[in-house]
Amino acid sequence: MDIGLFDHSATQEFMNFNGVGRKVLKAYMRLIAKKVEHAIAQDLPAKFGIVFDQWAIEKQHYLSVFAVYLKQQQVKEVLLATSRLYSQEEILPDDEADDAKVSHCATQFVEYIKFELETFGKTIGNIVWLVASNSAVSKHMAKVTGLPFVGCAAHRFNTAVHAMIQEEYKDDVAAVHKLMRALTGLNFIYPLRRLTDFRPLLHHPNRWPSTYDMLQRYFELMPALIQMPPDLQRMIPSNDQGMNLDELYEDFKWLSAVPTFLAGSKATMATVRRVFDKVIHRYPSMKNFLAPDSPIVPSTEFESALVRLQRTESLTPEEAQTLAPFKKNVKVKSQRTTERTASWVDLLLSGGAKESDQEQYDATIHVIPPASNAVERFMVRQGKELRDLVPRSLALVLFLKVNRSLWSLNLVDQVVESTNIAEHVVDGDSSDEE
């Protein structure tokens, strides 16, 4: 391992005793994780949703599976499992994937879900909806399982911004990237250090926030760049490119509020729709990705129905049909009344459905998150110390951290006092590589 787990605050918060080596520490962590798995298995209802979250740290890609459900009027989101994606095919972009690879990858992911659900005594039949990226693989997974599918709003937004960059600012961004790469070379890195404490930043072409960071660094470096050797100055973007970069940077500052919103607690299907409509009004070119009927949306009727339901608006027949599997089998007795009942015209003009219309549907439909970015949200809050961990340790610590409410210090004490830890130590736990 790169850094001993005991040196991380992620483990210190619940392992507060001295003289514990890495092998012993990880053995205790696995035992605690087993207790948490048992607690999740006991708490999971017969019906719940699954959030399929693909994320990355540097060049390492991971897949996390979350279960989301309503229990005692509280929305619960528990992490079931995390696995590293080793195969390039598993993380292949849509535009490079053929149908055979998409089908194979989707089938493998479905089998992975089945395998992990066995740990908690559940099957695919217990899942009632799926939230994942808008990729071809995710869409094929929904088709194979027959699950209602919501495409990740964060993925849609990132795709929209990336498309805008490629269409309008591709050459300008490439010029800055070329400049930054040159600044990392031996010819210029030392002259730069004599002029400024800022260091060059490169961007990831598929992650626009990194492009935002690179542009910000470019403007921070500008006073030093104009003092660099002529060979470097000739690489500085032209005046026309500079104007475009100023414009893009201002766009980024406005757009950066959206990922923050999507990672917060206010993001629902309805509020995301309002935010996306605002973005489209300012950037019409993004309509192809952010509009409710965008080709990227896997199920326009289902997502539109969820938005209308949260807004307490009347559903179209097509939208009502998509929600039919979630409708409660409750018969309402009609009662005679002398009061005038509302006609269909009154209902049409009243501005939407009543709250009782929402109650016609199972509670599981009201807790569907608009994005599959749960790990990102967690990392923003408290995940910085996890970035140095190797994959297997990362998955273990992430499981315990995300599910922190499911174990206590008393449970740790019970495990420590009742366990002959030597029987649970694994020799490979002392290795720096996994």
DSSP-assigned letters across all residues of 54-93 = EEEETTEEEEEEEEEEEETTEEEEEEEEEEEE--GGGG--
In a domain, residue 248? The reply is yes
Among 295, 303, 231, smallest CA distance to 272 is for: 303
129 shares its domain with 15: yes
Q: Are the C-beta atoms of residues 241 and 172 closer than 8 Å to each other?
A: yes
171 shares its domain with 286: yes
In a domain, residue 24? The reply is yes
Which structure tokens are listed for 163? 């498309």
Bridge partners of residue 66, in order along the sequence: 51, 79
125 shares its domain with 244: no
- Mean per-residue pLDDT for 370-395? 78
For the segment 273-290, what is each residue's pLDDT rounded down to a tens digit?
999 999 999 999 999 999
133 shares its domain with 200: no
144 shares its domain with 158: no
Q: Are the C-beta atoms of residues 311 and 352 closer than 8 Å to each other?
A: yes
Domain count, the chain: 2
Confidence of residue 387 (pLDDT cuts 50, 70, 90): confident
Confidence of residue 67 (pLDDT cuts 50, 70, 90): very high
In a domain, residue 316? The reply is no
- Mean per-residue pLDDT for 169-186? 95
DSSP per residue, 257-314: HHHHHHTSTT--HHHHHHHHHHHHHH-GGGHHHHSTT-TT-S-HHHHHHHHHHHTTPP
Strand 48-57 to 127-132 pairing: parallel
47 shares its domain with 147: yes
Which structure tokens are listed for 138? 């995710």
Average pLDDT of every residue of the chain: 84
Among 271, 289, 268, 293, smallest CA distance to 280 is for: 289
In a domain, residue 322? The reply is no
pTM, rounded to two decimals: 0.81
Predicted pLDDT at 88? 53
Bridge partners of residue 71, in order along the sequence: 74
Q: Based on C-alpha coordinates, what's the Rg of the chain?
A: 26
In a domain, residue 364? The reply is no
DSSP per residue, 128-163: EEEEE-SSHHHHHHHHHHT--EEE-HHHHHHHHHHH
| Residue 21 Rama label (left phi>0; alpha psi -120 to 50; beta) | beta
65 shares its domain with 199: no
Write out the residue range of the structural domain in which residue 157 sits: 153-297
Q: What SS3 class is residue 188?
A: helix
Q: Are the C-beta atoms of residues 76 and 69 closer than 8 Å to each other?
A: yes
Which amino acid is it at 356? S
In a domain, residue 401? The reply is yes
d(CA 13, CA 41) in angstroms, rounded, equals 25
For the segment 294-323, what is each residue's pLDDT rounded down to a tens digit?
999 989 999 999 999 999 888 999 999 999
In a domain, residue 250? The reply is yes
d(CA 216, CA 86) in angstroms, rounded, equals 33
100 shares its domain with 213: no
Residue 335 exposed, middle or buried by CB count within 10 Å (0-12, 13-18, 19+): exposed
Last residue within a domain, chosen from 256, 281, 297: 297
Last residue within a domain, chosen from 273, 297, 321: 297
For the segment 85-109, what is each residue's pLDDT rounded down to a tens digit?
876 555 544 555 577 888 888 888 9
In a domain, residue 59? The reply is yes
118 shares its domain with 200: no
163 shares its domain with 253: yes
Flag whether pLDDT at 33 surpasses 70: yes
- Name, in order, each residue with C-beta under 8 angstroms of 249's C-beta and a sequence gap of 6 or more: 212, 215, 216, 219
287 shares its domain with 377: no
Predicted pLDDT at 344? 40
Last residue within a domain, chosen from 297, 315, 340: 297
127 shares its domain with 29: yes
